[in-house]
Amino acid sequence: MPPRIPTKSSASSASALVRSSFVSPCTSQCLPSCRAGFSTTPSLERSTNLRRAFMQWQKTIGANFKQPKPEGGHNYLSNSNQPFPLNPQFRSDRVLDEQARELIWEKVMRQGETLKAVSAELGVDVTRVAAVVRLKEVEKDWVSKGKKLATPYSKAVLGMLPTKSFRPGVQNQPLEPINELHIHTATQKQLFWPTAESRQFTREDAAKAFHAKMLSADKRVPHPELIQMEKNLLHGMSPDEARAHFISAAEQSERMAAEKQVKKAMAEEQATKRINTQRFEFRFKEVDSELVGKDGRAPNVVGWKYGMPHYDRKKGMVKIPTSVP
Amino acid sequence: MTIKIRLARFGRRNAPFYNIVVAHARTARNSKPLEVIGTYDPIPKADPYDDSGRLHKDIKLDTLRAKYWIGVGAQPTDTMWRLLSMVGIMEPKYRSQQPRIAPQLPADIKKPEATSSA
């Protein structure tokens, strides 16, 4: 059996062929022979029509697409948000650019606007607003500590993606729909619920039909305050007044969420006894061991359970943290 | 038969985690106990966003049940005695957790001189 890896002489003759057929852009530093070192496939002896056409295209129209646009933004072949021209399914969504992120941080941290108000004003999902603020805080912390940022990397990535920026003080086009209803597992089953025709069956009733404790769709959306604002507008309230109502409602909901969090932390602190020793702090948390249930297998019982498999290493189980502490 | 308050090892290799259990003394370590009254995570952990280097250990304990079992004669193991003494259920067995300070010597007693020969 002949050796599959081409010998040095054959490789050099092939490279001579390649070099004679068309002018290679790279010359002295990377000779074709050294490039072929990894591949055991012999290079094609003649250039195909398609390849020649590609080379021609690269020199003429294709030269425009070699570098990203100097003014920023993506430079795709199809001139839309479709990086791969033959794959219309793959489309890149627009991402917030530096200025937009700075604006969001400014609004939340400097001007003290609520996350919901900023989200509704700019049309950015409220979780994205929160994430932008968190990451900006980290960035500013790094800058203040003199840590080096990966700015060239960020610039390169943003140069390849379609971006979205906002102009402060004016009505902006929204980035994404912000008030979408997340699918609740309880609503994923098909339900036949006989009701009298004479009866009004509202969203509240529909929620109750799915689960006794479920909230209606109007309350489960990220911005129930926006629904109230639209109702106010329908009832003839002036836009300025409705906006003021919305902002105060958003502040109220944020305050309530913060109070709830503080209350939870306080309750946890109260149930915990801290004992400091020289090396460690021991935190004793009070639990109720009598919630074991009849067979001792209640789901929220303290400690590891006996006679039950532990699925922590099973395939398909999430093994990384899923939330920010 | 003696009843013990002791630890039962769960967790994985190099990642111990203990159930605080009440069990008959002669039963195997991880056999089904009379009652699980808490957990003990012996691996020290830092608080998130805290870079002071101070570590803590988490213990969950049903103090009411622990007191009950002590009251009816259950015997904690040394480790459990140490933990229970931290929350004031047992008297400290070996030494108090507070650093001890020697009492003042009376004024008329002289300190033994370091240079005196025997």
More confident call, A237 vs A46: A237
Indicate the range of A15-24, A56-65, B47-56 predicted with least confidence: A15-24
B38 interfacial to chain A (CB closer than 8 Å): yes
- Which residues of chain A lie closer than 8 angstroms to B69, CB-CB? none
Most confident of A4-8, A160-164, A294-298, B10-14: B10-14
- Give the pLDDT of residue B64: 96
pLDDT recorded at residue A151: 92
Residues 6+ apart with CB under 8 A from A252: none
Can you tell me the distance from the alpha carbon of B32 to that of B24, in angstroms, rounded to the nearest whole number? Answer: 10
Give the total residue count for chain A. Answer: 325
In whole angstroms, what is the distance from residue A49 CA to residue A62 CA?
17
Of B11, B20, B57, the CB nearest to A280: B57
State the pLDDT at residue B115.
56
Q: Which two tokens stand for residue A151?
A: 């700015």
Mean pLDDT for A177-195 is 92
Are the Cβ atoms of B62 and A302 closer than 8 angstroms? yes
Tokens at residue B49, please?
């966003």
Spans of chain B below 70 pLDDT: 95-98, 110-118
Q: How confident is the model at residue A26 (pLDDT cuts 50, 70, 90)?
A: very low
What is the chain A residue with the closest CA to B22? A289
Chain A positions touching B34 (Cβ under 8 A) are none
pLDDT surpassing 70 at residue A33: no
**pLDDT score of B89:** 94
* Partner residue facing B59 (CB), from A284, A290, A306: A284
| Span A295-312, average pLDDT | 84
pLDDT recorded at residue B103 = 80
pLDDT for residue B95: 65
* pTM (two decimals): 0.68
CB contact under 8 A, B63 and A306: no
Closest CA to A302 of A320, A322, A284: A284
Distances (CA, A) of A108 to A46, A100, A133, A311: 63, 12, 7, 41
Q: Using CB atoms within 10 Å of the CB of residue B111, give its burial: 0 to 12 exposed, 13 to 18 middle, 19+ buried.
A: exposed
Reported as a single tens digit per residue, the pLDDT across A267-283 is: 999 999 999 998 999 99
Q: What is the pLDDT of residues A242-269, one digit of tens each?
A: 999 999 999 999 999 999 999 999 999 9
Range in A219-228, A289-298, B52-61 the model is least confident about: A289-298
Note the pLDDT tens digit of each residue in A77-132. 876 777 787 888 888 888 999 999 999 999 999 999 999 999 999 999 999 999 99
Among A42-56, A175-189, B59-73, top mean pLDDT goes to: B59-73
Tell me the average pLDDT across A134-141. Answer: 95
Strand B35-46 versus strand B75-76 pairing type: unpaired
Q: Looking at the complex, does the CB of residue B87 fall below 8 Å from at least one CB of chain A?
A: yes
Question: A42, A49, A52, A44: which is closest to A22 by C-alpha?
Answer: A52
**Minimal Cα–Cα distance from A305 to chain B, Å?**
9
User: What value does the mean pLDDT take over residues A22-29?
Assistant: 42
* 3-class SS of residue A208: helix
Q: Is residue A316 pLDDT above 70, yes or no?
A: yes
Kindly determine whether residue A280 and residue B38, on different chains, have CB atoms separated by under 8 Å: no
> With an 8 Å Cβ cutoff, are A285 and B83 in contact?
no
Is residue B45 a contact partner of residue B24, using CB atoms and an 8 Å limit?
A: no
**Yes or no, beta carbons of B62 and A287 under 8 Å apart:** yes
Contacts of A279 in chain B (CB under 8 A): 44, 55
Task: Return d(Cα B101, Cα B2) in angstroms, integer.
Answer: 38
Please state at what angle helix A126-145 crosses helix A98-105, rounded to 10 degrees. 90
Closest chain B residue to A302 measured between Cα atoms?
Answer: B38
Answer whether B50 touches A (CB < 8 Å): no
Of B9, B40, B6, which is closest to residue B23 (Cα–Cα)?
Answer: B6
Of B17, B37, B83, the CB nearest to A289: B37
Q: Is A307 on the interface with B (CB under 8 A)?
A: yes
Give Cβ neighbours of residue A126 (< 8 Å, ≥ 6 apart): A115, A116, A119, A178, A222, A223
Residue A21: the pLDDT is: 40
pLDDT at A31: 46
Q: What does pLDDT average to over chain A? A: 85
Q: What is the mean pLDDT of residues A131-160?
A: 92
Interface test with B, best of A137, A272, A284, A313 (most B CBs within 10 A): A284
Contacts of A290 in chain B (CB under 8 A): 62, 65
In this prediction, residues A318-325 reach a mean pLDDT of 85
